[in-house]
Structure 1
Amino acid sequence: METTPEYAVDLITFYHPSFWGVGSYDDIMALRHKDPVALWTKILDALNEAGMSSFEMTFPPADKSSAIDAFGSVKGFRDELTARGLKLKSSYHSGSGWTPGADLGAELNKAEELAEFVADAGGDTLVVGLPMRNSRDAAPPFFVDAKFASAVADIAHVVGDATQRKGVKTALHTEAHSTFCTRRDIDLILTLTDPEYVYFCPDTAHITLAGGDAIDVVAPHAERVVIAHWKDALGRMPAGFPIDHSTIHNQHQDYMCALGSGVVDWPNWAKLYEQTEGRGVRLLELDAVASPIAEMKAAKSFLELNGI
C-alpha cells in the first residue's frame, strides 16, 4: 500500500445490548440518560483497547447530545479525545427529509448545526443517509425519478456548500433499500450533484445487499470518495424484500458478516480505495455486534495480515 492507514470505526458497532449487559436498545438509551459519562467512557475505552485511531458518530445514544452531556461542551469532548489519542473523523446525519417540497431552511439548519459540532470536535465529514424506499406494493408508490433526484440534488448543494464553509464535507452514504444504493440510483444522484460540493461515502456491505459489486459501482465515482464504510456481506438480499421502515435496518444485519467471510473483494477494493481522497482511513463498520472489541481487532488483523 502507498499509505499507512489509520483505523476507525462507526459507533453503531457498540449498539448491541449484550455489550452493555442489558436486554434492548431502549435499555442502552436509559443508560445514556442515567450516566452519559459512563456510556462514553465505556465506548472510548473500547476504541483504545481495539487499537482504533478515530471514529464516526451516529444516531443516539452516542451522538452530539450525549457527548456534550458527558463532557460539558464540544471543547470538553475534544479534549477527552485528545487525551486518549483519539479523533473524531465524521458523523452520520439523517437526510430522510430530503424530498420534493422539503423545508430547505429546516434541513439546512439541522445540517449546519451538526457540521459545526463536527468541525469544533475535530472532524471533517458529514455522512448523509438519503430517504428509504418503500416496498414495491406500497400505495401510493414512491418513485426515485427525475423530480425526486433533482430535489435531493438541490438540498445537497445548499447543505454541501454550507458545511464546506465550516470545513466539513457532505458525503452521501449508500444504505441498502434507500434511494441511494443501487448503481442506477448512485449514478443518477451523483450525476445531478456538483462534485465540488457533494461527496461520496460508499458502504461495501450495503452496496452488496442491494445487488451491486462495490468495486464496479464505486470506480466511476472514485474521485468523490472522501470516506467509506468497510463492511462485509453474504450477498444480495432477496429481490423485492419488504421494507418496513422500523425494522429494515435490523434485518440488514442478518446478511452482514465478519470482514473477510463475505463476498466483498477486499484486495481489489483496497486498490481502488488507494485512488481516493479517503485512502488515509479505513473506517470499519460492524453493525451492533455483541463483542465489538474482539470484532474490531479481528477486522483489523484480517486487513493487515492480507496486506490490505
Structure 2
Amino acid sequence: MSLDLRWSTDLVTFFDPPYWGLPADLPYDDWEREVDNDPRRFFDRMLDEAAQVGLAGIELAPAPGGWVNALNAYGTAAAFKRELDRRNLQMSSSYVLPVFLKAAIDASDPRAQADANRALEEDTARHAAFLREVGCPTMVTSTIPRAPFSDIAGVEASAAAFDAPVDEHLMGVVAEQLDRIGRVAAAEGLHVAVHTDAYSLASRTDDIDLLMSLTDPARVKLCIDAGHIALDGGDPLAVVQRHAGRAPVLHWKDCASHLPPHTLSGPPMTRHDVMIKYFRVMGPDGVVDWAKWTQILRDQGWRGWGVAEIDMSPDPQRQIREGIDYFNRTLATDS
C-alpha cells in the first residue's frame, strides 16, 4: 500500500552562502542582510529550484526565508501565491522562530506579561492572515530549550540540567502560550504545529507526551522532525507511533549520531553550525530506521506533507532528490 504524502522542502535547505556566490564564512547576520536587500532575487531562485526538482510545495523558513521576506519580495500574499501557483507549488507550512513566544514565557511581572502576550498575538495574527491568503493551514513554531546552554565557547553546560525531568509548571506555561497561538491561528482557519527541535521541551518522547496532553489537539499539532529527535538521543519512532495522527507535517531528515546538548557552546548560530554537521539526508547513512518509520505511518493511515530538507545544503537540488529517490526506491510501497 502506498503512503499518501506530498513532498515539500524547507527553504533553509537553500541557505548555504557559497551556493549564492557568497563567502563560506559569512556571518549569519550578514547573510540575512544580503537577502533583506534583495529578497525577490533569492525567493525567485529558491521557488524555481523547488519546482525544478519536482516538489509539490515549500515550507517557509526562519528569517531571512520566512513570510516577512516573502511579502517584501512580492508585495502581497496574493502576489506570492501567484508565484507559487505558476510553478505548481503549494505551501506545506511556514516556520516562525519562537522569539515572541519566549518573551511571553519569560515575562517577569503582570505588565510585562500583558505586553508580551499582546505582541505574541499580534505577530501570530499577521502571520496567520498571510497564510490564510496563501492557502497554507499550518504555522510551525518551536518551544524553548530544556536547560540553558553555555554562551561561552568551549565551556560546557550542565549535562544534569538537560537530563533532569522537565519542570511541569514550566511545561504548563509553555502549553498555555501555545494554546494562545493556536486560538489566534484558528481564527484564520489554521492550526499551529510544534517543531520537535533538538534539546527543546518538545524533543524527548515523555516531554512531547506531556506537552500534547496539555494543549488543545484541534489547534496545537506537531511537526515531527526525525533528525532533530535523534540528534537529542531520542526515539523518533516512538514519537511518530504515538503522535503521527496529530502531525500534518513530518520532516524526513536523519543524523549521523547523538550529539549531547551540554557539549554545545557559544552563541546560538555557533551551536547551530555544529549541529548541522551531524544532520544527514534521509537514507541509509544515518541512525533513523526509515523502514519502520514508514511502516508506522502506513499502519496508521497517515497522510500529509513530507519535508525533505537539510540545513544549508551546498547542493540543495541534489540532496533533495537523494532523499526522495531513497524513499521511492526503498520505502514507497509496502514490501
TM-score, length-normalised on structure 2? 0.85
Matched ranges for 1:1-308 at <5 A: 1-23=1-23, 24=26, 25-96=28-99, 97=102, 98-99=104-105, 101=107, 102=113, 103-132=116-145, 133-135=147-149, 136-137=157-158, 144-238=166-260, 240-246=262-268, 247-260=270-283, 261-274=285-298, 279-308=303-332
Runs of 4+ in 1 over 6 A off after TM superposition: 140-143
More helix by share: 2
Residues 245 and 274 (structure 1), Cα distance of their counterparts in 2 relative to 1, 3 Å cut? farther
Residues 95 and 123 (structure 1), Cα distance of their counterparts in 2 relative to 1, 3 Å cut? same
CA-CA distance at 1:277 after TM superposition: 8.0
Contact 2:39 2:69 (8 Å CA) reproduced: yes
Residues 85 and 239 (structure 1), Cα distance of their counterparts in 2 relative to 1, 3 Å cut? closer
Residues 197-249 of structure 1: CA distance to partner in whole angstroms, max 9, x if unpaired? Answer: 21111110010011112111331222211111110111211363235452222
Contact 2:204 2:235 (8 Å CA) reproduced: no
Residues 151 and 245 (structure 1), Cα distance of their counterparts in 2 relative to 1, 3 Å cut? farther
Q: Aligned letter for 1:248?
A: R
Residues 14 and 58 (structure 1), Cα distance of their counterparts in 2 relative to 1, 3 Å cut? same
Q: Aligned letter for 1:134?
A: P
Q: Aligned letter for 1:263?
A: V
Partner SS state of residue 58, structure 2: strand
Q: Aligned letter for 2:34?
A: L
Count of residue correspondences? 307
Q: Which runs of 5+ in 2 are unaligned?
A: 108-112, 150-156
Q: Aligned letter for 1:73?
A: T
Out of 94-103 and 66-75, give the one that drifted further: 94-103
Partner SS state of residue 307, structure 2: strand
Residues 27 and 153 (structure 1), Cα distance of their counterparts in 2 relative to 1, 3 Å cut? closer
CA-CA distance at 1:22 after TM superposition: 0.3
Residues 21 and 275 (structure 1), Cα distance of their counterparts in 2 relative to 1, 3 Å cut? farther
For 1:128 and 1:184, how far apart are their aligned partners in 2? 19
Q: Aligned letter for 1:51?
A: G
Contact 1:53 1:87 (8 Å CA) reproduced: yes
TM-score, length-normalised on structure 1? 0.92
Q: Aligned letter for 2:273?
A: N
For 2:327 and 2:253, how far apart are their aligned partners in 1? 12
Percent of aligned positions that are identical: 29
Partner SS state of residue 147, structure 1: helix
Q: Aligned letter for 1:252?
A: M
Partner SS state of residue 192, structure 2: strand
CA-CA distance at 1:27 after TM superposition: 4.6
CA-CA distance at 1:90 after TM superposition: 0.8
